Amino acid sequence: MSTQNNFNPVLMKSYAGAVIRHNLTIGKRAAESPMGLAPVRPELFQNHETLNFVGLTWSCESPEVDVIRKDLRLARELLPAAHFVILANTEAENWYLSRLGVPNFLANELIFVDDMDFTIDESAAVEFDAVYTARFVPFKRHELASKISSLLLLPGLAAPEDAGRIAALLPAATVLGVNTYFSRQQMAGHLNRARVGLALSTEEASMRAFMECLLCGLPIVTTKAIGGRMRYVLEPYVRVAEDNAEAVANAVAELTKARFPRLEVRQAALDLLAIERRRFMEATETIISATIGPVHPALQFTEFARFALSWRPGNLVFSGLS
């Protein structure tokens, strides 16, 4: 008696993005999927023309652009009928990618942050001067928050040695959710417990926590950075501080004193997102017409936004196609 083993390890791994239609995907660069979703399961896409949008997980205003070009060549060899288009977070990325012949357009990933889940909770008790949603890794520069007296940290995954380092660095901070998954609604609830959001890295991708804070009505203190979030420095609700702990603490104090209405902060973010999302859909329709042809029914922005930033097991990402 024999049995057939249908186990597919690809389906057990997690990927960001979604299969929008059978010939249209949106994904993100990652070690397991450097050119988005289609090359992960090539057998599902090799017999027809596809369009695949690929978001960035790190700034490519650097030699990273050449790595993307190499990954693109390999993906095209695997799927000759596939079109791959990078979603650039900044004008500089758009320029670098275009200069090297990598198809792309400007579509900052922060436009995909869920403005329904990340919203104002009027019932939340405001307990902290500032909140920092950031992994306990060096590039997040937690040391710049060392002079904030009332601080909430939401790190997500954290190795024991990193948690110990932050505990020694910021002994008075309140830490929630180490190695604990928070739903979007739960995360929004925690953000609403603070008066100001923080963004302290000098380089990464766009940093979705930046937009999550704005949508919850929190003004933000940021340092100068490349990767995408500086596109959404909405004055006077976002202050750019110098790279030292005293300047960051002073900026937090200034924003706390300003007492901007949360609805006002959120509306400023929504107004800008409305413009950016409309541009995204217009560009998407143009690219679709030039590659795979029109799709029916007509695309809605929510089809992209629902899972564009969500990491899910492969069996859910590719469900309905296998």
Q: What percent of the chain has pLDDT over 70?
A: 97
Res. 66: pLDDT tops 90: no
Q: Residue 63 — pLDDT band, cuts 50, 70, 90? A: low
How far apart are the two ends of the chain, measured CA to CA in Å? 27
Amino acid, res. 244: N
46: pLDDT confidence band, cut at 50, 70 and 90?
Answer: very high
Give CA–CA dist 28/18, Å, rounded. 10
Whether omega for the bond prior to residue 219 falls within 30 degrees of 0, making it cis, is no
The CATH class given to the 128-260 domain equals alpha beta
Instruction: For 201-249, write each residue's pLDDT tens digit.
Output: 999 999 999 999 999 999 999 999 999 999 999 999 999 999 999 999 9
pLDDT of residue 32: 83
Structural contact between residues 281 and 295, judged by C-beta atoms closer than 8 angstroms: no
Task: Report the largest interatomic distance among the alpha carbons of the chain, rounded to a whole angstrom.
Answer: 75
How far is it, in rounded angstroms, from Cα 289 to Cα 259?
A: 47
Backbone torsions φ then ψ of 189, nearest 5 degrees: -60, -40
pLDDT at 5 over 60: no
Report angle CA 267, 272, 276 to the nearest 5 degrees: 145
The mean per-residue pLDDT over the stretch 292-312 comes to 89
Residue 297, preceding peptide bond in cis (omega within 30° of 0): yes
- The answer to whether the beta carbons of residues 140 and 169 sit under 8 Å apart is no
Q: Average pLDDT in the 244-261 region?
A: 98
Q: Does 291 score more than 60 pLDDT?
A: yes
Domain ranges for the chain: 9-112+274-317, 128-260
Q: Per-residue pLDDT tens for 85-105?
A: 999 999 999 999 999 999 999
Q: What CA–CA distance (Å, rounded) separates 316 from 302?
A: 18
Sheet holding 50-55, edge to edge: 104-106, 82-88, 50-55, 24-28, 14-21, 311-313
2 band by pLDDT with thresholds 50, 70 and 90: very low
> What's the pLDDT at 322?
59
- Record the pTM: 0.94
Range 253-267 average pLDDT:
98
Q: Which range among 100-104, 189-193, 260-264, 303-307 shows the weakest confidence by mean pLDDT? A: 303-307
Average pLDDT for 80-87: 98
Residue in 252, 206, 260, 201 with CA at minimum distance from that of residue 229: 206
* Beta-bridge mates of residue 83: 51
User: Per-residue pLDDT averaged across 120-139, rounded?
Assistant: 97
Q: What is the mean pLDDT of the chain?
A: 93
CB 163 within 8 A of CB 142: no
Q: Write out the two tokens for 29.
A: 């660069």
Q: What is the pLDDT of residue 3?
A: 37
% of residues, the chain, pLDDT over 90: 85
Token pair recorded at residue 33: 């999927």
pLDDT at position 6 is: 53
The pLDDT of residue 309: 80
Could you tell me where the DSSP H helices lie in the chain? Answer: 64-78, 91-99, 160-169, 184-191, 208-215, 245-258, 262-290, 301-305, 314-317
DSSP letter, residue 117: T
Q: Which amino acid is at 317?
A: V
The position carrying tokens 């995408």 is: 228
111 pLDDT above the threshold of 90: yes
**Residue 173 to residue 150: CA distance in whole angstroms:** 7
Confidence class for position 262, pLDDT limits 50, 70, 90:
very high
pLDDT of residue 7: 53
Predicted pLDDT of residue 289: 96
pLDDT in tens, 31-43: 888 999 999 999 9
